[in-house]
Copies of this chain bind each other. A is one copy, B any other.
Amino acid sequence: MEKIQLANDLSLSRIIHGHWRLKDWNISKEETLELVEYCISQGITTFDHADIYGNYECEALFGEALKLKPELREQIELVTKCGIVLPSENRPDHKTHHYNTSKDHIIQSVNQSLHNLATDYIDLLLIHRPDPFMDPAEVAEAFKELKQEGKVRHFGVSNFKQSQYDMLQAHLEFELVTNQIELSPYNLENFQDGTLDLCQEKRIAPMAWSPLGGGDVFTSQDDKAVRLRETLKKVANELGTDHIDEVMYAWLLSHPAQIMPIVGSGKKERIDRAIKAQSHTLTRDQWFEIYTSSMGYDIP
């Protein structure tokens, strides 16, 4: 599998395994380990986490699996996030849903993530959401300290628009290496509002969350879903596959921005379809058919 180089000393696998729903998969730590090893065997070496996933529990579920075979740590890249505060029975001191990008919070969150993930370092830490109350100078201090201490190797953001990205970058001594954003044929917002343009301008490869658009395209009866599903089926047929998720992954993978889709499934056959997608090459006709089908009107 292709590796995408984000920095001199950091490359992620083109396809990333996401552990947003790890808790919902309801699998033992042995099964989790088995799944992780399956990913690695297929070249998927990057695993995406966040402090809050699974009500603050997913990181530790992964960590428990990793403890069974700690030597895997050297073979993988761990991505996690911080900055959202969620009320939760696991965090009784959290009163309201808000963002916290203070230096203290970021550092505490990373320390907890290190503990949960059973690791000494995080390869890539992302600020989970743009915080309207952000002090970019404080974030810069936190990042600098975490880097100096070796706790985090590189930093990025998630769901940042241009102004938010530029604001934070202006206060950092080193370059942000990615922006994890929603990108799929079903959700074109970041294709159209300048966010993906910014990634290409800055030469930072974006990570794509919800690369299948959250699932509506498979089952929803709303006009957009029906229309896009038909187009995806047509292209799937042209490509010789029965699976429209392969087409959606291929649509992202064929884009020149070096988009890294995050596969959020615990089922091997679904992971396989993302891998298989790498073998499909979309024509420009096909890429635009999907694009305009999602929009619902033609390009000018």
Contacts and interface: CB of A to CB of B under 8 A. Distances in A.
A287 B166 contact: no
A267 interface: no
Nearest to A137: B256
A163 B287 contact: no
Given A135-B256, A255-B133, A98 B163 contact: no
Given A98-B284, A98-B289, A170-B203, 5 more contacts: A96-B289, A98-B288, A135-B256, A166-B201, A167-B197
A202 B193 CA distance: 21
A162 B193 CA distance: 10
A288 B99 contact: yes
A98 B299 contact: yes
Contacts of A99: 284, 288, 299
A85 interface: yes
A198 B136 CA distance: 12
A198 B163 contact: yes
Interface centre among A85, A99, A129, A284 (most CB of B within 10 A): A284
Interface string A80-100: 000001000000000111111
Contacts of A166: 197-198, 201
A132 B191 contact: yes
A220 interface: no
A285 interface: yes
A116 interface: no
A-B interface, 6 closest residue pairs, ranked by CB to CB distance from nearest: A163-B194, A135-B256, A98-B288, A163-B197, A167-B201, A167-B197
Residue among A137, A166, A289 facing the most chain B CB atoms (10 A cut-off)? A166
Interface residues of A, number: 46
A190 to B, nearest CB: 11
Taking each of A198, A200, A285, which has the highest tally of chain B beta carbons within 10 Å of its own beta carbon?
Answer: A200
- Copies of this protein, total: 3
Contacts of A129: 299-300
Contacts of A197: 163-164, 166-167
A97 B201 contact: no
Interface string A126-168: 0001001111111000000000000000000001011110110
Given A132-B291, A163-B162, A100 B198 contact: no
Contacts of A194: 161-164
Contact of A284 (B100, B164, B284): B100
Interface in A6-49: none
